[in-house]
Structure 1
Amino acid sequence: MSGDDKKNIISEFKLDPEAELRFEIETKNEKVLLTLKSGSAEVFGTELVKGKTYEFTSGAKIAVFTWQGCIVELKGKTDVSYVAKETPMVLYMNCHAGLDQMRLNAEKNNTKGPMCMVVGPNDVGKSTVCRILLNYAVRMGRRPLYVDVDLGQGQISVPGTIGSILVERPALIDEGFPQEAPLVYHDGHKSPGDNPALYKKLLTQLGSTIKDRLEINKKTKMSGCIINTCGWIKGVGYKFILHTMEAFNVNVILVLDQERLYNELVRDSPRFVKVVFLPKSGGVVERSKGARGEYRDQRIREYFYGTPKNALYPHSFEVKFSDVKIFKIGAPALPDSCLPLGMKARDHLTKLVLITPNPGLLHHLLSVSFSEKDDDDMILSHCAGFICVTNVDVERQQLTVLSPQPKPLPNNLLLLSELQFMDSH
């Protein structure tokens, strides 16, 4: 089949009420166009506009759900496409209704709305459930906060960070939520286990910043928060879930696809916390380690270059070694006998260490700190954004960096991330 024939494959699907069309695109450089012909439908809680064409590219895993029934058209070659009659959408809608009831009560009593955390192992659709619940909330005129504490996937900024955004309108079907003024904290690792003390400290900090923000904005205070967590649910990972619950004063926990975790949380949560078990969608796809790595690269690439529909044009410029201070978080451990009296060995995990610019920085991301001082408080200050080191010239004592904004950098205090990005543009 020639390339033109592939583009011309047109399939029409008639969906009954509460059915879902699922499709995936794996082939590189493949494009699939989706159009709603009649009826009404949504993708992860965002309504499709009738007659409008939506474009999806390689890596897309999409579910088009309809409450009343509809006809949709797909143009292009999908690797998988089928209609599912069994979906958990009614259960997800019931969760939304429960959360909205809590918001109405919060409005009446001028209290805080639901602080809802979504938990479960890897690849059960946690991010998707968050997106559906946020979209439904916004469609009801709410203004919830979306909090993402999953370091590895980076829904709000680049991977290796945790953060939050205010959600004021539904996610774009093919782009996700608009990223205006996100609140982002630098961890610099792919997994919380790489520096548990730092991750815990950042969770506490993000929790207290959000508490303050909810007090300032009445509408958001009553709309509450939806919190996405990472898929590490055993041992230390479980302790992080409990710490997240505490840091954000969580009062609703949605557990996806894992009865054991559900039972543990029922046992270990305070009485006022409502723990709900939900099945995962049959459309959820398991990702290999390689696919997770590719997704991370894609997230970083999008941070600098945008998406096919919304391209960004980053800047490349030189920065003198002497104009910046680069730190990494976490010093090598000292034996107890060398430590000052009363200091614990684990404190070294959240210490700032000044590093001399060297060729080892090549391809690494650096976060630009908002901090005014280069002391240990810098760890708890949020990021202005990220740059990537594309060249280290030791002779001329300068770095070449890729940056979303032209020079100068907004601050000269930088934190090193272990995440790397090979810029192929």
Structure 2
Amino acid sequence: MDETPGKVENEIKLSPDSELRFEVESNDETVYLELKSGIAEIFGTELVKGKTYSFTTGAKIAVFSWQGCELIIRTKKDTSYISKETPMMFYLNCHCCLEQLREHAEQNDTNGPITLIVGPTDVGKSTLCKILLNYAVRMGGLSRRPIFVDLDIGQGHVSIPGTIGAMIVERPASVYDGFPQVAPLVYHYGHVGVQQNPKLYDTIISQMADLVHQRMESNKKVKSSGVIINTIGWVKGRGYQHLTHIVQAFKVDIILVLDQERLYNELVRDMPTFVKVALLPKSGGVVERSTATRIEARANRVREYFYGTISYQLHPHSFDVKFSDVRIFRIGAPAVPDSCIPLGLKTDNYLIKLVSIQPSPNILHHVLSVSHATTADEKVIETNVAGFVCVTNVDTERQILTILSPQPKPLPDACLILSDVQFVDR
């Protein structure tokens, strides 16, 4: 354990079906945690006995134990508490039901459960996704390969904010770094709110759904394991329409509603009878995040893309490129009055129009998606992205951009798509 002066060590005994909760708020604070005896987990990831885990600013942790355990926690200011009121039994029951459906799918060569997690903001949707995915690969052994689809463009759990992503989960998540990512499927959206371009959001969701179903058909383990989908917290009005579009596009057959009875009743009313809808409670440890906290979390996600995490550090590269050597686009043209639109065209087509832009100081600190499309004539919007770069300097006199990139060589011959997401490299 850390021997930093001023830290207080507490030995905590967790009784069965209870959890230890704590949050790290101070910038100079680090909380150290060790499992002394018994079995415990953090959001479905089992802790290693005798290993010291460290948590820094922004961490919100719940250590749960089914059989009981002994923990050692070391911190300057102890704000931890134990709760016996947890929804983990509900979540475990959900996992057991999903596992039965996976076994049936495996025996009959049919699709496994396609599960949608919905609810307003800050009710624990991402956490429930992580728990269900962890349980699937922990308890299902080598036969389980569920697909995790993240449609929450505000946070970005598969990639960075401003994107939607999907990946096959083969191993439990790391306590620090989440699920191991091998070639995730990522689509550019470019904003952190759905209301900025609802047409584009629905378009890339449809494209994502088609490819997810293709992947299920090509791999029996993936097919029987099914899909778990994380969604945005906008559940009223147009947000509800997006949810129904997701259900149709992905052919969802199970919807888990967190902590909102109104949404649950609307879905029961509107969904086909073969779609099963269940209402689940949220955890008492869920914390409502402020706007500043959300902005900081987004910046941290982009920073992790370029620089990695504490346990897995990366070293990005910076290089100059000429204005003439890059092709930058944005998705969405200015709105056109209805009277100016040719007969037969939809009024919202401008939202998914590809527009060429010239490099200028306006794109400083903006993140650019590197598309797999090599020409603007290709379907850039419906093409997934290879990665991201950030503009760290714009020299208009020399006509040169300075780019922060994960790879050392200059940009490939690809289309770059401008995002509203910004990152200041310090």
TM-score w.r.t. length of structure 1: 0.97
Cross-structure match for 1:319? 321
Cross-structure match for 1:400? 402
Cross-structure match for 1:54? 53
Question: Conserved in 2, the CA contact under 8 Å of 1:352 and 1:375?
Answer: no
Unaligned stretches of 5+ residues in structure 1: none
- Give the match's secondary structure for 1:222: helix
Structure 2 residue corresponding to 1:226, chosen from 220, 225, 228: 228
Matches of 1:339 and 1:235, distance apart in 2: 27
Cross-structure match for 1:207? 209
Matches of 1:164 and 1:219, distance apart in 2: 16
Comparing 206-215 with 402-411, greater Cα deviation is found at 402-411
Question: Conserved in 1, the CA contact under 8 Å of 2:8 and 2:77?
Answer: no
TM superposition shift of 1:407: 1.6
AA of the residue aligned to 1:372? T
Is residue 69 from structure 1 mapped to residue 71 from structure 2 by the alignment? no
- Give the match's secondary structure for 2:115: strand
AA of the residue aligned to 1:86? E
Matches of 2:116 and 2:157, distance apart in 1: 15
Cα shift readout 1:6-46 (whole Å, capped 9, x = no counterpart): 3x311111011001001110111321111100011111001
- Give the match's secondary structure for 2:380: helix
AA of the residue aligned to 2:5? D
Cα shift readout 1:304-363 (whole Å, capped 9, x = no counterpart): 111112111000001111111100101112223333332122111100000011110100
Matches of 1:163 and 1:88, distance apart in 2: 27
Unaligned stretches of 5+ residues in structure 2: none
- Give the match's secondary structure for 1:123: coil
Cross-structure match for 1:295? 297
Matches of 2:48 and 2:151, distance apart in 1: 32
Cross-structure match for 1:262? 264
- Give the match's secondary structure for 1:245: helix
Matches of 1:246 and 1:238, distance apart in 2: 13
Matches of 2:413 and 2:325, distance apart in 1: 10
TM superposition shift of 1:177: 0.9
AA of the residue aligned to 2:289? R
Question: Conserved in 2, the CA contact under 8 Å of 1:24 and 1:78?
Answer: no
Structure 2 residue corresponding to 1:185, chosen from 176, 179, 187: 187
Cross-structure match for 1:24? 23
Cross-structure match for 1:387? 389
Cα shift readout 1:204-228 (whole Å, capped 9, x = no counterpart): 0100010111111110110011100
Matches of 1:281 and 1:80, distance apart in 2: 18
Cα shift readout 1:158-180 (whole Å, capped 9, x = no counterpart): 10000101110000012211122
AA of the residue aligned to 1:122? T
Matches of 1:322 and 1:210, distance apart in 2: 37
Evaluate the alpha carbon distance shift between residue 325 and residue 277 of structure 1 in structure 2; reply closer, same or farther with a 3 A threshold: same
Matches of 1:406 and 1:4, distance apart in 2: 39
1:237-252 equivalences under 5 Å are: 237-252=239-254
Is residue 148 from structure 1 mapped to residue 150 from structure 2 by the alignment? yes
Cα shift readout 1:368-413 (whole Å, capped 9, x = no counterpart): 0001331361011000000000001111111101111112223331
Question: Conserved in 1, the CA contact under 8 Å of 2:334 and 2:350?
Answer: yes
Cross-structure match for 1:129? 128
Question: Conserved in 1, the CA contact under 8 Å of 2:375 and 2:414?
Answer: no
TM superposition shift of 1:78: 5.0
TM superposition shift of 1:58: 0.8
- Give the match's secondary structure for 1:368: strand
Question: Conserved in 1, the CA contact under 8 Å of 2:20 and 2:83?
Answer: yes
- Give the match's secondary structure for 1:237: helix
Cross-structure match for 2:173? 171
Aligned Cα root-mean-square deviation (Å): 1.2
Question: Conserved in 1, the CA contact under 8 Å of 2:20 and 2:62?
Answer: yes
Question: Conserved in 1, the CA contact under 8 Å of 2:368 and 2:389?
Answer: yes
Comparing 350-359 with 172-181, greater Cα deviation is found at 172-181
Matches of 1:395 and 1:4, distance apart in 2: 51
Matches of 2:4 and 2:225, distance apart in 1: 48
Structure 2 residue corresponding to 1:341, chosen from 337, 340, 343: 343
AA of the residue aligned to 1:391? N
Cross-structure match for 1:5? 5
Question: Conserved in 1, the CA contact under 8 Å of 2:44 and 2:134?
Answer: yes
Matches of 2:207 and 2:71, distance apart in 1: 45
AA of the residue aligned to 1:100? E
Matches of 2:378 and 2:77, distance apart in 1: 50
Question: Conserved in 2, the CA contact under 8 Å of 1:26 and 1:79?
Answer: no
Evaluate the alpha carbon distance shift between residue 321 and residue 79 of structure 1 in structure 2; reply closer, same or farther with a 3 A threshold: farther
Cross-structure match for 1:107? 106
Matches of 2:256 and 2:413, distance apart in 1: 40
Question: Conserved in 2, the CA contact under 8 Å of 1:19 and 1:83?
Answer: yes
Matches of 2:64 and 2:216, distance apart in 1: 33
AA of the residue aligned to 2:372? F
Matches of 1:35 and 1:348, distance apart in 2: 55
Cross-structure match for 2:13? 14
Question: Conserved in 1, the CA contact under 8 Å of 2:373 and 2:414?
Answer: no
Matches of 1:137 and 1:307, distance apart in 2: 25
TM superposition shift of 1:4: 4.2
Question: Conserved in 2, the CA contact under 8 Å of 1:319 and 1:399?
Answer: yes
